Structure 1
Amino acid sequence: MRQQPSFYPERQFHILINFNNDERSVAVLPDETGKFLVIDQGKVLGQLGYDKHLNCVSCECELDETILKQLNSAIKNHFS
């Protein structure tokens, strides 16, 4: 049975994302294995996975490419 990642609400950070001319702050909750849970106004938008070099290696969400680029850039900036 596959174990679910444990996300850390106490380590969350916020990213300002432009959703088709509607700019909103989304919460990003990391876990210890390089996965990030993205939440917008209480709704889970998806889960992104990164390798140790902060390259996105998995994406479990249905977000368009421009939003994913914003998320990837902000997550890399947060940890660099």
Structure 2
Amino acid sequence: MISIVLPTIEVLSKLKSILSNPATALSTKFMQYSKSFVVISTMFTASSPGADSISRNHFLRSSVRSNSSPVQVLS
């Protein structure tokens, strides 16, 4: 009986928290998923052959382009 009641209380507590402040709950979930995405994408990039040279070349080309043209700031 107790093994059924405790999980139910935990679920109801989480539900109450989400319903009382949905923006915070959504923000928390977003942060959890973004951290997972960063870890997964970093692992994928690290295991891909040639990924470092592709990233480095892209960065160098972007730097050269940004130095040769004026930067516009939008407000």
TM-score by length of 2: 0.26
TM-score by length of 1: 0.25
**Which of structures 1 and 2 has the bigger CA Rg?**
2
Query: Greater relative contact order: 1 or 2 (C-alpha under 8 angstroms, separation 6 or more)?
Result: 1
Structure with the larger strand share: 1
Structure with the larger helix share: 2
